[in-house]
A = this chain, B = another copy of it.
Amino acid sequence: MGRIICCGLGPGDPELMSVKADRAVRAASHIAYFRKKGRPGQARRIVDGMLAHNVREFPMEYPVTTEIAFDSPDYARWLASFYDEWAARLAALARDTDVVVLCEGDPFFYGSFMHLYTRLQDHAEIEVIAGIPGMAGCWNALGRPIALGDDVMTVLMGTLPEAELEQRVRTSDALVIMKTGRNLEKVRRALAAAGRLGEAWLIERGTMPGERVARLSEVDAAECPYFAIVLVHGQGRRPELSE
């Protein structure tokens, strides 16, 4: 009787993987990971050079997004059956052996593994190993505290409506905006409307080879990958003195 071990890999630098995750990856006989069809896959790339020579690999492949519109009901249905299928395959594998599922960042923080996790609940023993979230790799790349003191930090998706983005930018000290990609122009307009575009940074591939850090105001939006993260630093709000 095996287990499914969901391994948080952290932001990308293999040295930032936890001691526990590092050990699980090196000891794995079976690994599974999400990737886009035809791509090596970011999670798989992080563990390059760490795997046993006879490891069995199970890439769980999303269709390239041009095949089905990313935000259509068809895509949602396709995804649901994709997760159903892989949950069943992983549960079957885990009857005989441990299976390590590779997850970028921290699995419990906006992780795709959660779609399998809910489906696997009553069908396999599951262990989740925490990782450094991708956003932490990004703010480390900038070498400044993202938040301190009594700052309020908001984590947002670039998919939100523009008016909501603007409102939340206005009312937060520190900001992390994920799912940028083709939402980048909207994110930029929302930041500009709230008077904070000048403080915003775009980080691609934080802690990884090819890391790129730029002021958001100077980035060509057409070049923004989906996984790039926008950060605005808090200034360290002072605690209110006691009543």
- Residue numbers of A with Cβ under 8 A of B are 10-11, 13-20, 22, 69, 71-73, 106-111, 114, 117, 128-133, 136-137, 139-140, 143-157, 159-161, 168, 172, 179, 207, 239-242
Docked CA distance A241–B76 (Å): 11
Provided the pairs A106-B136, A241-B71 are in contact, do residues A154 and B153 lie with their beta carbons within 8 angstroms? Answer: yes
**Interchain CA distance A235-B105 in the complex, whole Å:** 20
Contact in complex: A136, B139 (CB < 8 Å): no
In the complex, residue of chain B having the shortest beta-carbon distance to the beta carbon of A117:
B145
A-B pairs, top 9 by smallest CB distance, nearest first, are A15-B20, A153-B155, A71-B242, A130-B140, A114-B145, A108-B145, A150-B157, A16-B18, A159-B239
Can you pick out 22 interface pairs between chain A and chain B where the beta carbons lie within 8 Å of each other? A10-B18, A10-B130, A18-B18, A71-B242, A72-B241, A106-B132, A108-B145, A109-B146, A111-B145, A111-B148, A114-B145, A131-B136, A132-B132, A150-B157, A150-B179, A152-B154, A152-B155, A152-B160, A152-B168, A153-B154, A153-B155, A154-B172
What is the CA–CA distance of A88 and B145 in the complex, to the nearest angstrom? 21
Q: Are B240 and A132 in contact (CB under 8 A)?
A: no
Considering the chains assembled together, what is the distance between the CA atoms of A149 and B178 in angstroms? 11
Residues of B within 8 A of A150 (CB): 157, 159-160, 179
Q: In the complex, what distance in Å separates the CA atom of A239 from the CA atom of B164?
A: 13
Of the candidates A16, A144, A159, A242, the one having the most CB atoms from chain B within 10 angstroms of its own CB is A16
Do the beta carbons of B19 and A148 come within 8 Å of each other? no
Q: Are A132 and B71 in contact (CB under 8 A)?
A: no
Contact A147 B19, beta carbon cutoff 8 Å: no
CB distance from A184 to the nearest CB of B (A): 15
Q: Which residues of B contact A132 (CB under 8 A)?
A: 18, 106, 130-132, 136
Chain B min CB distance to A19 (Å)? 5
Q: What B residues does A106 contact at CB under 8 A? A: 132, 136, 140
Q: Across the interface, which residues of B come within 8 angstroms of A108, CB to CB? A: 136, 139-140, 144-146
Distance in angstroms between the alpha carbons of A131 and B15 in the assembled complex: 11
